[in-house]
Amino acid sequence: MNLTKDQMLNLYETMVKIREFEEKAKELMLGGKLAGFLHLYCGEEAIAAGVCANLNDKDCITSTHRGHGHIIAKGGDINRMMAELHGKATGYCKGKSGSMHIADLDIGIVGANGIVGAGLPIAVGVAFALRYKKMDNVVVAFFGDGASNRGTFHEALNMASVLNLPVVFICENNHFGMSTPQSVHQKIKDISVRGTAYDIPGKTVDGNDVLAVHEAAAEAIGRARKGGGPSLIECKTWRHYGHFIGDPEPYKDPEEQKKWLATDPIPRFAKYLIESNYAIQADLDAIKNSVREKIEAAVRYAQSSPDPLPEDIYSDVYAG
């Protein structure tokens, strides 16, 4: 793998930042400090980190209801994210949205989205606009296995293919759509085969191996940047918790959960970094400690921020 030590450690730091943010959000939610829904990304960190390491600020992403990881990996501000989760006026959406609508257009985060599969056609539209403006930027659309059954997935892949657009479709196959196992909601095992129907290169990778994700994304993003059109990458992974905080997940087989937890992408990459002499344990501990301080600072920022004002209730809200 042709990455520098700094790049390797950045990948690790991004994954740890996502994990720590999510664990803190879980703790706050269970402690009654947050309202609304929380869909955690724990276990899937290697995907957002591995993909977004190949993007620059002018490249764009569309995200999902499980979007914190994508936003952090794309450079989102954790203070504003944490404030949004707390419903504070300093949050990304001035405290009016919560977890599922965070966007930051200045750094190409076109938006999380509570509508399953809605990010794919938006990504195609953004890719069309980038090409129309003759920019060499690309768009990444993140989505789940469940979303790959929606019409929007098929329409988006078809249009991206026929217009040869610079968009990379990243399917995060965590093997469940809410409580429904993948084997019950579709007959295929590898979602990447669906690229064939649209003449789009499709690849399946180990989504818990950040270097495998990085390599596949680098190839697809590089191709899209050079005018080579769209790609579909399926990353096989596992969500550590339920669909949302509060889901007791009786549908998960404990043996399967145990098997997947043993492939947790973070300790796995830590082991690789140490065995390959990119880091010693103390380096990784220092990264974790510094990330934890930043997350604690984000919580203090959020909790000391003002609530939105009652007179602003109708501002930034659109009526059709």
Ligand X SMILES: Cc1ncc(C[n+]2csc(CCOP(=O)(O)OP(=O)(O)O)c2C)c(N)n1
Interface residues with ligand X (CB under 6 A) are 65-66, 114-116, 143-147, 174, 176-178, 243
We find the least distance from the C-beta atom of residue 174 to ligand X, in angstroms, to be 5
Among 114, 102, 10, 16, which Cα is nearest to 52's? 10
We find the least distance from the C-beta atom of residue 233 to ligand X, in angstroms, to be 15
- The β-bridge relationship of strands 167-173 and 139-144 is parallel
We find the least distance from the C-beta atom of residue 103 to ligand X, in angstroms, to be 17
Q: Which is nearer to ligand X, 65 or 288 (CB)?
A: 65
We find the least distance from the C-beta atom of residue 9 to ligand X, in angstroms, to be 28
- The β-bridge relationship of strands 109-111 and 139-144 is unpaired
Instruction: Give me the half-sphere count of Cα atoms (radius 13 Å) on the Cβ side of residue 87.
Output: 12
Q: Which is nearer to ligand X, 8 or 15 (CB)?
A: 15
Packed helices 151-162 and 119-132: angle between N→C axes, nearest 10 degrees: 20
| First vs last C-alpha separation in the chain | 50
- How many helices and strands, by DSSP H and E, does the chain display? 11, 8
We find the least distance from the C-beta atom of residue 34 to ligand X, in angstroms, to be 18
Among 87, 86, 64, 76, which Cα is nearest to 243's? 64
Q: Which is nearer to ligand X, 77 or 247 (CB)?
A: 247
Q: Which is nearer to ligand X, 115 or 184 (CB)?
A: 115
Other residues' Cβ atoms within 10 Å of the Cβ of residue 112: 28
Give the position of tokens 């399953």: 116
Q: Which is nearer to ligand X, 65 or 240 (CB)?
A: 65
Q: Which is nearer to ligand X, 1 or 115 (CB)?
A: 115
Q: Which is nearer to ligand X, 174 or 204 (CB)?
A: 174
Packed helices 5-30 and 78-85: angle between N→C axes, nearest 10 degrees: 20
We find the least distance from the C-beta atom of residue 80 to ligand X, in angstroms, to be 23
d(CA 191, CA 195): 8
Q: Which is nearer to ligand X, 48 or 93 (CB)?
A: 48
Residue number with the smallest Cβ distance to ligand X: 144
We find the least distance from the C-beta atom of residue 305 to ligand X, in angstroms, to be 28
d(CA 170, CA 187): 20
Phi, psi of 235 (to 5 degrees): -110, 115
We find the least distance from the C-beta atom of residue 56 to ligand X, in angstroms, to be 26
What length is written for the chain? 320
